Amino acid sequence: MGKFFRSLYLLIIDQIRLDYLYVNYALEFRSVPPRRSMRDRVVLHRRAALIAASTAALSPIICPAPAPAVPTELPAVVPLFLCGGAYCAAYELDKQPFRAVVDTGSPFMLVDGTCGTGDASRWGCYRGNGRDAGLTDTDEIYGGSDVGVEWRRGDFRFVQARVDEQQRFVAERADAVSPRPLPLSANVPNAVFGIVRKEVDKGGGGAVFLGLAKRRLPRIRPTLLEQTDIASLRFDFVKRRMELSRVPLIPPSDDALKLLDLRSRGAPVAVYAVKVQRLVVNGEVIKAPRPIVAIIDSGTTGISISDDLFDSGLLPAQWRDARIELGPTERGRGSTVALEASIRKRRPPSPGVPASPVPLSSEEYDEFPLVCTPVRVPWFAPGFARDSVCGGNDPASTQFAKQGGMPEDGEAVSCRRTLAETRALFADDLGPRAPHVLFVGLAFLWQRTLTIDLDTERMTII
């Protein structure tokens, strides 16, 4: 009888544990209502060899009701696949299939609504009108095209790896826990997204981008990640996987890079920016007269360079090898994180850069060449920055309303910065002058693992 009651007791405990995991981990994400923006024109300048075009898919990812933090929670694991100089992810919107470039350098997801009946697109084509989102249409300006976007609502779902595969993948990490709980389910009903209704092509590559920059200025339309409770992203490019977690993935004890928020200087979104301590091209140290900022941009193939630096005469016309030293890290004392790229497959060992974990036959070598292109970055222009510091172009902003609002033609209204705004502007340790900008792409990243804790503004590249 003793064995019988013990077996019955263990069976009950197991059932309670399974019920607990189901309630706490098999969550359906609910979207957070976006803040309204009253402005009809949005400007986002960026891009490299993979130039942004008319489509990218906008929707949210994760928003369950508040719950106590569970340290054993598994992140959602989304497979990545090569798609012409980039890594792409698959997803569904209103049960229609799409795929897009995973892009840490932009905020939105947009879907193509310009395709006609019967037209085929490798990115997907949105059929229908969606549900009203309560947001006016905008013009989005990218490097490769100008697009007119209609903002709607629909049901979004990431195509994830099978549950057992996700559990097995996360279990391979050193910080894995046992027993393995269920992974998050990355889907959002009634998500805000954008449908491209018109396009003016400027020679872009026609790619679709899945924007993964979270925070924005008030005048910018809702970002994908702000509509979720995602706290951390991890890209294991070698294994072609992306993780999305509701809890930070970087342990507090780990030495990490502190991200810079360039919105105080005029950037429309909080891209994942870090100060460059040293830039070495073809073996020569580049001595720029102004600070240089690196933006980690998985939507770029090689590297894009702000035109003021590209045209300065400081850089060689052709790049054979490049090393970018980021930092300092939080521990300071000169600690940096080095990123390297080369036109050669077999590069010599370099301090701070791990040996390549992939064979020379890997197709990524051909997918991600060291391509250098110029890009115009207007964020730090006086009018652009004043507009941003004055609260954006949303007339609902109290501070901005005191300045008289924003004219319809988009010209910025000058204003005086408060003392707190001035301190915030120079808290990034970049000094008073506008920095040069590097959009660092996959040629530097694809052999590494990139982790970004969004809310604590920390990043590791190992």
Tell me the residue length of the chain: 462
Q: Report helix, strand or coil for 140.
A: strand
| pLDDT interval class at 403 (50, 70, 90) | very low
- Mean pLDDT across 163-179: 58
Q: Enter the pTM of the model.
A: 0.76
Average pLDDT value for the chain: 76
Which is more confident, 71 or 417? 417
Band (pLDDT 50/70/90 cuts) for residue 289 is very high
**Is 392's pLDDT higher than 50?**
no
Which domains, ranges and CATH numbers included, belong to the chain? 25-245 (2.40.70.10), 257-377+430-461 (2.40.70)
Q: Which two tokens stand for residue 220?
A: 């910018």
Q: How far apart are CA 257 and CA 210, in angstroms?
A: 24
Phi, psi of 437 (to 5 degrees): -130, 135
| pLDDT value at residue 241 | 95
| CB atoms near residue 436 (< 10 Å) | 25
pLDDT band, residue 164 (cuts 50/70/90): low
Residue 65 has a pLDDT of 38
Say what the pLDDT of residue 207 is.
76
| CB-based contacts of 352, cutoff 8 Å, min separation 6 | 325, 336, 337, 338
Q: Report, as an integer, the average pLDDT of 61-79.
A: 59
pLDDT at residue 415 in the model: 52
What pLDDT does residue 247 have? Answer: 92
Mean pLDDT across 6-22: 41
From residue 443, how far is each of 77, 174, 301 by CA, in Å? 23, 27, 6
Contact (CB, 8 A) for 365 and 345: yes
Helix (H, G, I), strand (E, B) or coil at 355: coil
* pLDDT 10s digits, 19-68: 433 333 333 333 344 433 333 333 233 443 333 332 223 333 344 434 44
258 three-class SS: strand
Starting from the edge strand earliest in sequence, which strands make up the sheet with 232-236, in order? 76-79, 241-245, 232-236, 449-453, 458-461, 257-258
Mean of pLDDT values over 272-291: 96
* pLDDT tens-digit map of 321-360: 999 999 999 987 668 999 999 999 887 778 888 888 888 8
Taking the C-alpha atoms of residue 51 and residue 53, their distance in angstroms, rounded to an integer, is: 6
Task: Using DSSP bridges, classify how beta strands 321-326 and 273-281 pair: parallel, antiparallel or unpaired.
Answer: antiparallel
